Amino acid sequence: MQQFLKGQEMRYAEGVRIMKNRLITLQNMVTKAAPDPQSVSCPALDAPKDGRRFGTKYFVDHEVHFTCEPGFQLLGSSTRVCQANGSWTGDAPQCKVFSTCSSNPCQNGAICVAGVNQYKCTCAHGWTGDNCQYQTQTDVNECEVYKLEGAPRLCMHACINIPGSYRCSCPSGYKLLGDGKSCEDIDECGLSLHNCTRGVTCINTGGGFQCVNPECPRSSGNASYVKTSPFQCERNPCPMDSRSCHHAPKSISFHYLPLPSNLITPTPLFRMATASAPGRPGPDSLRFGIVGGNSRGHFVMQRSDRQTGELILVQSPKGPQTIEVEVDMSEYLDRTFQAKHVSKITVFVSPYEF
């Protein structure tokens, strides 16, 4: 029995030995089939300009490290590893001059200006903040805000909203004053900007001008007139016995008044007074009246003192329109009619309240 067991043990040990030898042979075969790692290498790597390289072995699995000089920053791979296929991992590093703008800190289309250890962003329109990260507040329409009740009036005429601000404008025939909000009529007559022909008088009005050439009434009965000035007609002497001629106006004068729209009423517009020749006794009483053109009741005529009558605007007309009104003044002496004077007033109402 003991002999038998010994024989078995020896055979087992022999089997193990054979197996070991076979394994070694097999191992050697496998090792020889694989390429020798020491025999594969990657191409040489240079240090980047303004940088340094660490590591000089270019065999498989070896690493090479790169750094940049102070003031430069590394772009690309700071570490590269030689791969079994003979190429390096990553990208070739570069050393670029360090800029505070390198990280693109300015947003939303801003322009970055680099400085020493700092940068400044010049924001695109509509953006704000250190890095232009905030949208600027949307534009305030001042024109709308100030339309609200109780707010001061921004513009005399029109308000035009522009991004971040506003401006005022005036209608044609007016100019914007230096305060940027008020409108002033252009005096076309004074500035010779009119086209009135010779012998015709230019009358400046709000927003424009008028060319006027008043004419005297035609002869009627025994009364006839002569123009004594551009705005005045005088009656020629009457035959002694012509009552109708004596009652016809002794003088007719023409007056032109430019007015804004919606004037505050009542407001005196025109005064009429007697003028007696020096050394001659004047009339002892006067009567004033409106003799034509007041169909809409815009005016009243009243005595302001013993010698003067006043035409008063009591209802403000809205422009643009032209209103004519005719007033007269009759002179009496000892309750006897002496003479009558007529004033023809033309009011040019502008479309605006200025």
| Complex with Ca ion: residue 185 or 328, whichever CB lies closer | 185
DSSP 198-261: TT-EEEEETTEEEEE---PPPPBTTB-EEEEETTEEEEPPPPTT-HHHHHS-SEEEEEEEEE-T
| Complex with Ca ion: residue 171 or 217, whichever CB lies closer | 171
**CB of 317 vs Ca ion, minimal distance in Å:** 18
**CB of 347 vs Ca ion, minimal distance in Å:** 15
Peptide bond into 266 cis (omega under 30): yes
Distance of CA 54 to the CA centre of its chain: 63
| Complex with Ca ion: residue 76 or 320, whichever CB lies closer | 320
| Complex with Ca ion: residue 86 or 190, whichever CB lies closer | 190
| Complex with Ca ion: residue 185 or 310, whichever CB lies closer | 185
**CB of 321 vs Ca ion, minimal distance in Å:** 16
**CB of 195 vs Ca ion, minimal distance in Å:** 13
Cα 330-334-339 angle, rounded to 5 deg: 25
Residue type, 351: P
Best CA proximity match to 136, nearest among 125, 148, 146, 144: 125
64 strand-pairing partners: 80
Q: 33 phi and psi, to 5 degrees?
A: -70, -40
**CB of 293 vs Ca ion, minimal distance in Å:** 23
| Complex with Ca ion: residue 258 or 317, whichever CB lies closer | 258
Best CA proximity match to 340, nearest among 220, 225, 246, 215: 246
What tokens does 284 get? 């002892």
**CB of 237 vs Ca ion, minimal distance in Å:** 41
Q: Are 326 and 343 in contact (CB under 8 A)?
A: yes
| Complex with Ca ion: residue 126 or 260, whichever CB lies closer | 260
**CB of 198 vs Ca ion, minimal distance in Å:** 20
Burial degree of 206 (CB within 10 A; 0-12, 13-18, 19+): buried
Q: Give the CB-nearest residue to Ca ion.
A: 185
CB contact burial 28-49 (16+ within 10 A = b; e otherwise): eeeeeeeeeeeebebeebeebe
DSSP assignment letter at 22: H
| Complex with Ca ion: residue 204 or 346, whichever CB lies closer | 204
Q: Which residues bind Ca ion (CB under 5 A)?
A: 185, 204
Residue type, 196: C
| Complex with Ca ion: residue 142 or 185, whichever CB lies closer | 185
Q: Are 219 and 245 in contact (CB under 8 A)?
A: no
Residue type, 318: K
